[in-house]
Amino acid sequence: MAEYTVNPDAVEHARHLIDKKQYVLRSRWNEVSPAADAENGYLERHSWAEYGAWHPGLTVGANDETKARHGFVYGDFRRLHRMGLIACVYRASEWGHKDVELAAHDLLQYLDGR
């Protein structure tokens, strides 16, 4: 299983989105989470750094400019989704990535405190 570290740029980006009220509180994450074609479309118009800012997990050992490097997306590339953060917490917990789980949990608490 892959090992992940926390992506501080994604944490900062999420806080910025929350501060700017660019979030969705209620959504069906399975319907709005970005599919591979949406990711590819985003990457055609944006840099790898911008893509990475939507992923609070970084795969240890993966090449920087690859999708494999980035994990646990929390938004639809326009807005943060509360259900996306919950999915990050759940998946990171399920797979034993405690640092990513706690970072996503802290973001969820930050959002809920707004």
pLDDT over threshold 90, residue 46: yes
| Percent of the chain residues past pLDDT 90, beyond the cut | 97
Q: 24: Cβ–Cβ under 8 A, 6 or more apart, which residues?
A: 32, 76, 79, 80, 81, 82, 83
SS (H, E, C) 1-65: CCCEEECHHHHHHHHHHHHCCCEECCCCHHHHCCCHHHHHHHHHHCCHHHHHCCCCEEECCCCCC
Residue 62 pLDDT class (50, 70, 90 cuts): very high
How far apart are alpha carbons 64 and 101 in whole angstroms? 21
pTM over the 0.75 mark? yes
Q: Across-strand partners of 16?
A: none
Residue 60 CA: distances (Å) to CA of 6, 49, 73, 74, 89? 10, 16, 16, 19, 19
Instruction: Give the pLDDT confidence of 75-94 residue by residue, as tens digits.
Output: 999 999 999 999 999 999 99
Instruction: Give the pLDDT confidence of 21-40 residue by residue, as tens digits.
Output: 999 999 999 999 999 999 99
Instruction: Give the pLDDT confidence of 90-113 residue by residue, as tens digits.
Output: 999 999 999 999 999 999 999 999
Mean residue pLDDT of the chain comes to 97
